[in-house]
A and B are shown apart, each in its own frame.
Chain A
């Protein structure tokens, strides 16, 4: 039997890519358990006190909750708008002008910092909306393009004659959407949810303008903390965020398999 030879250079290259990808994560993980009062790598000693410290600082506790609330609400609302939009864009593709689908990507093209600033001027200051609401609007705008694009991508391969078949068999259009269309683009919806959720949780640029007294998000709180302290708490928070992401991925992997993301 023939075995194909693998070029050693290729292996070296792969290893380097892995180091490049994993390196920063390992450094953060190391720094978070360091028994020093400053950020350092390799860690000196071992301590979990910086993890405890996260929960001792009330601002972290508060912003973690705010960030989670924001991410869930913004993603949920964006999907509520994005799924029907994606559906309409694909279902009536022939009838709609081509630029229409581009409109839904525009927020990605606009630098987030500009988005944040415009919202600050026009919504927060202009309309005197509460901080959380402004943040919610900002995050929703931020994640909507992902929702529309990802759901669109899975609707693009959906054969709408399947929908017509269901209708011809006596299923009303709205019911057909839920029983026939949605189950077949489920993976797209879940992928959109994950992408949007992570985008919202990690956002700095837009939130920077929209947070205010008493209401902040975790990344903004991290930023604020770094300005004053240089202790490993930051590394611990980062590890916590990583764990959250890994947990989400693990759940998805268990229930659906990650391969669907590649579809």
Chain B
């Protein structure tokens, strides 16, 4: 029976080093939540704490109404899928899948039936008698998935499950994982450093940095409305422009960037705007204009690269180096003067760092 997971105020240390700080996370029944971040951000530590391979300094972990915090790992009943598959090399594929059932005292005949049915679901029934060494990476990961799913765990966790596979297989496998997870309705925690992977299969994503969750939201919200500069950079907002409010007229705020470029922003769209803030845009959100009357940040264009759908410019401005995409119809040469015009519907207003 699938359960919801509640992690509260989890703090953990490696020796004297604090690796997780006051981390709270809740995963609803049947939800797939990803922990996303660079290596060393604490995402794997969080997973290992939930699995019971590490002990937290403080905080609690609950699965449904069961308190896992001090329960030994082998009693937690969590299905795990590892980056390096971690199949038992000396057992056949069928025995690998049946291992968890055996620990639960399922009778051999029933065990074999259920393991075979699970292998059928991941499309590997013809390999049941092979040893793991004879399988390809993708097949191994399918066996690992079957092994974790067959015990019908209340919680399923993935630790970078696709990192060792090639790009094409990675995309196929993540679709497959998501389908199986949906079909079973198993609450899942998925650890990855790959943003595309996390966004594509998750209901919600927790972006982590230095042992903390920076933002925990749906992929859409994270991608379009990052809550802080770290997340903004993480999801690809190349331009973070510090601005100061110089005039307020009802809901409309006039703000100025370094070098005097002015911009009008509506508080109806961006919410309350503080006197000093950071305007974040992607390269696509900065239009390159050669119209001298355009209201934008004066820039001297540098290197131009071809993206296929646009030309991308490295631009020197009073607000620092910015990146902007210009139209394909009018390529500009390095050294040209232009205005970079932020497009409000592609901008975010963030607190200064």
* A contact set with B: CB distance below 8 Å: 159, 161-162, 164-173, 176, 180, 183-184
Contacts and interface: CB of A to CB of B under 8 A. Distances in A.
A183 B90 contact: yes
Interface in B43-81: 51, 53, 72-80
Contacts of B75: 170
Interface in B81-119: 82-84, 86-90, 99-100, 103-104
Contact of B84 (A161, A166, A170, A173): A161
B73 A167 contact: yes
Interface centre among A166, A167, A172 (most CB of B within 10 A): A167
A162 B73 contact: no
B53 to A, nearest CB: 6
B90 A166 contact: no
Contacts of B225: none
B86 A170 contact: no
B87 A162 contact: yes
A180 B74 CA distance: 14
B205 interface: no
B307 to A, nearest CB: 40
B46 to A, nearest CB: 15
A168 B79 contact: yes
Contact of A164 (B77, B86, B89, B144): B86
Contacts of B103: 169-171
Given A161-B83, A183-B90, 18 more contacts: A161-B82, A164-B82, A164-B86, A165-B86, A165-B144, A166-B88, A166-B99, A168-B51, A168-B73, A168-B74, A170-B75, A170-B77, A171-B99, A172-B72, A172-B74, A173-B74, A176-B74, A184-B90
A167 B74 contact: yes
22 contacts: A159-B86, A161-B84, A162-B88, A164-B82, A165-B86, A165-B87, A165-B88, A165-B144, A165-B147, A167-B53, A167-B73, A168-B51, A168-B74, A168-B148, A169-B99, A169-B151, A170-B100, A171-B99, A172-B72, A176-B74, A180-B88, A184-B88
A161 B86 contact: yes
Nearest to B75: A170
A262 to B, nearest CB: 18
Given A159-B84, A161-B84, A168 B78 contact: yes
Interface centre among A164, A169, A173 (most CB of B within 10 A): A169
B97 to A, nearest CB: 10
A159 B75 CA distance: 22
Given A170-B100, A170-B151, A172-B74, A165 B90 contact: no
Contacts of A164: 51, 53, 73, 80, 82, 86
Contacts of A183: 90
Interface string B124-152: 00000000000000000000100110010
Contacts of B144: 165
B96 to A, nearest CB: 9
A165 B80 contact: yes
B89 A162 contact: yes
A161 B48 CA distance: 11
Contact of A165 (B72, B76, B82): B82
Nearest to A173: B74
Contacts of B77: 170
A95 B144 CA distance: 28
A176 B102 CA distance: 13
A169 B79 CA distance: 7
A171 B90 CA distance: 16
Contacts of A171: 74, 99, 103
A186 B37 CA distance: 39
Contact of A169 (B72, B84, B100): B100
- Nearest first, the 3 closest Cβ-Cβ pairs linking A and B are A170-B103, A169-B100, A165-B86
A162 B72 CA distance: 17
Contacts of A176: 74
B104 A170 contact: yes
B87 A169 contact: no
A169 B86 contact: no
Contacts of B89: 162, 184
Interface centre among B73, B76, B87 (most CB of A within 10 A): B73
A30 B208 CA distance: 76
Contacts of B73: 164, 167-168
A60 to B, nearest CB: 43
A159 to B, nearest CB: 6
Interface centre among A164, A170, A176 (most CB of B within 10 A): A170
Contacts of B84: 159, 161
Interface centre among B77, B79, B80, B103 (most CB of A within 10 A): B103
A180 B84 CA distance: 16
A181 to B, nearest CB: 10
Contacts of A167: 53, 73-74
Contacts of A184: 88-90
Contacts of B151: 169-170
